[in-house]
Chain A
Amino acid sequence: NTKNSVFKRPHCRRYNMYVDFRKVDWDTWIVAPPGYDAFFCQGECPYPLAKHMNATNHAVIQNIIHSKNPARVPAPCCVPIKHSAISMLYLDRDKKVVLKTYQDMIVESCGC
């Protein structure tokens, strides 16, 4: 619910989001970790775009066009621009121990 939360902050940035495997009953087969910090991105990309907003050249162009004609072109979105991996130790359906590394599971930074 974005109405009553901190997400009202206008600028694009990273927020905490912890994924707890116990809450979805996945702790029966996932050995480690018990959960992880996934994070998410939220916020606006206002004109002009500040350097810390990690904007792409395209976002800068879209932002300029949007400032001239907001009805036709939307403002750039706040999205994850850098991810990192997590490793999971779990049991497969044959009760075999598996260690897998999943890419792009954690948001490292957000940008426009």
Chain B
Amino acid sequence: TSSLTELPQGKTTPSLTREPGTKLAKDSEDSSKGSAKLDKDAEIIKKLEESLLNSFGLDEKPNVDKSQVKIHPYMFQLYNLKVKENLEEAEEVSEDRRESKASSKFTPQAILANTVRSFTHIESPEDKFHPEHKMLFRFDVSSIPAREILQGAELRINYSPPPSVEKILETYDKDTISNLHVNRRKWSKNELIYLTRINVFDVVRPSKGSRDHVHRLIDTSVIDVRMNSTVSLDVSPSLKRWLSKPQTNYGFYVEVNPLKFDSSVVKDASHVRLRRSISQDDDAWSEKQPLLIVHTDDPKLAKREKR
């Protein structure tokens, strides 16, 4: 359109100079042609973009603003791990080394699956009615496409030493603590007071009356309350059911119990980050809140066979 308006006066067609009415008509025709071309270009670009998004396994460009979403640091850790893996693969690591990587302790699903999603608990007003050491977590996993195959799922919960333990720790030798952490099975009787068990239950049937609910224990883990760490619980069975029957997604029930309740130094569950504390701001909570990590394999992204 701009090139048409910049034409020199002498080069204009006689018909346009003789009849202003016709010139206007011609201008508008050219302009409409120009805009039609622009529309066509935009359409082509749109189709190219659609095609590219499709090859990424997306139907359309997500209309979101990343600055509005808090991304859990664990997802960045996984991303860095994947980048490292891709680099190693590009450098053609030997088959033996690849096997040892796959059987390593560090999240085997993360190594085998080509897609990882993170989900946070959908907060509800009912949350505050749960006892302090119990919590019902609800996750909306409806965004996982039906074509993706579940490889594994973990519920990650953060914990840190409560103030009562921190005082005791001041009198402890740090080396002793690290030894205990490594040799998890070698606990002395005196140390049992620092252990807390975390149970995760699959809510098979929610509570309608007082006692008609069905909760199935799917994983359990014992944590040392003196540590500042994260516990990973395997929740794959629940995810398998939720993805095949989304209407049965009633969430997880997480329970925190001191192993030796009578003599335990920690009688409450405040050291396990099940819910946000009153003083905690959004940023601090987004890094510490429980996280559901789902590993899936997207067949659409499967590697093509080599020639």
Chain A interface residues toward B at CB < 8 A: 24, 26-33, 56, 81, 84-104, 106, 108
Contact = CB atoms under 8 A, between A and B. Distances in A.
Interface stretch (B23-31, B60-68, B219-227): B60-68
Interface of B: 49, 56-58, 60-66, 68-69, 71-72, 75-76, 78-79, 82-83, 86, 89-90, 114-119, 140, 142-143, 298, 301-304, 307
Contacts of B142: 94
A87 B69 CA distance: 20
Contacts of B64: 28-29, 91-93, 95
A32 B79 contact: yes
A31 B66 contact: yes
B86 A96 contact: no
12 contacts: A29-B66, A81-B307, A84-B90, A91-B62, A96-B118, A97-B118, A99-B79, A100-B57, A100-B116, A101-B86, A102-B56, A108-B90
A101 B69 contact: no
A81 B89 CA distance: 15
A103 B303 contact: yes
B118 A92 contact: no
A87 B79 contact: yes
Contacts of B143: 92-94, 96
A97 to B, nearest CB: 5
A99 B304 contact: no
B57 A103 contact: no
A100 B78 CA distance: 10
A96 B119 contact: yes
A26 to B, nearest CB: 7
Given A84-B90, A99-B115, 20 more contacts: A28-B64, A29-B62, A32-B79, A81-B307, A84-B89, A85-B90, A90-B62, A91-B66, A91-B69, A93-B64, A96-B118, A97-B117, A98-B117, A99-B78, A99-B116, A100-B56, A100-B57, A101-B301, A103-B302, A104-B303
